[in-house]
């Protein structure tokens, strides 16, 4: 039997490296990292309940990262992955902005809560940028070319 040089792990690592170089891969990676930083900040504060938003958004970002990296979106066509990702990004942006404003405004005396709020505002902006890029991708894929008209009479 002939052995193949590429193991499944090496193939997965190559997909990871190539996906991290894309704009969507970089955005999802940044979302995962900033959500992890926010979890640490909120866990160190007196009000740890705010970390729920960061945990949920980090898990959803990891799920979509894996789906897009392994190209499962091209295999499972029953789900519209672009619209699902758009809703994930919109909800993430809104939840981060709301909870972060609450933490920054009411976090007097709790530095970790304020730091989590500031990072949350940055995450809200990042998720908003992700929403914008997804929306522009959907908009450009929906545009139709103009039908040719015959000007000769």
pLDDT in tens, 87-128: 999 999 999 999 999 999 987 888 999 999 999 999 999 999
Other C-beta atoms closer than 10 Å to the C-beta of 15 total 13
- Residue 148 pLDDT more than 90? no
Distance CA 54, CA 112 (A): 14
Residues 23-46, mean pLDDT to the nearest whole number: 95
Distance CA 27, CA 126 (A): 8
Confidence of residue 150 (pLDDT cuts 50, 70, 90): low
Per-residue pLDDT reduced to its tens digit, 3-19: 555 566 778 888 888 98
Q: What's the whole-model pTM score?
A: 0.84
67 contacts 133 by C-beta, under 8 angstroms = no
Determine the Cα–Cα distance for residues 91 and 59; give it in Å rounded to an integer. 14
* pLDDT band, residue 1 (cuts 50/70/90): very low
Instruction: Give the list of residues 6+ apart from residue 57 with CB closer than 8 angstroms, or none.
Output: 31, 35, 92, 95, 96, 123, 127
């Amino acid at each position: 039997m002939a052995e193949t040089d590429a193991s499944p792990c090496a193939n997965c690592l190559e997909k990871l490296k190539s996906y991290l170089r894309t704009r969507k891969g970089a955005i999802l990676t940044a979302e995962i990292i900033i959500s992890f930083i926010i979890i640490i900040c909120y866990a160190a504060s007196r009000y740890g309940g705010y970390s729920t938003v960061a945990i949920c958004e980090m898990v959803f970002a990891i799920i979509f990262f894996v789906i897009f990296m392994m190209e499962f979106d091209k295999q499972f066509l029953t789900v519209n992955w672009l619209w699902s990702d758009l809703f994930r990004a919109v909800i993430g942006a809104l939840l981060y902005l709301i909870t972060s404003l609450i933490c920054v405004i009411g976090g007097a005396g709790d530095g970790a809560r304020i730091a989590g709020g500031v990072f949350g505002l940055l995450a809200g902006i990042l998720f908003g940028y992700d929403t914008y890029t997804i929306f522009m991708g959907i908009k450009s894929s929906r545009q139709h070319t103009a039908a040719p008209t015959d000007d000769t009479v």
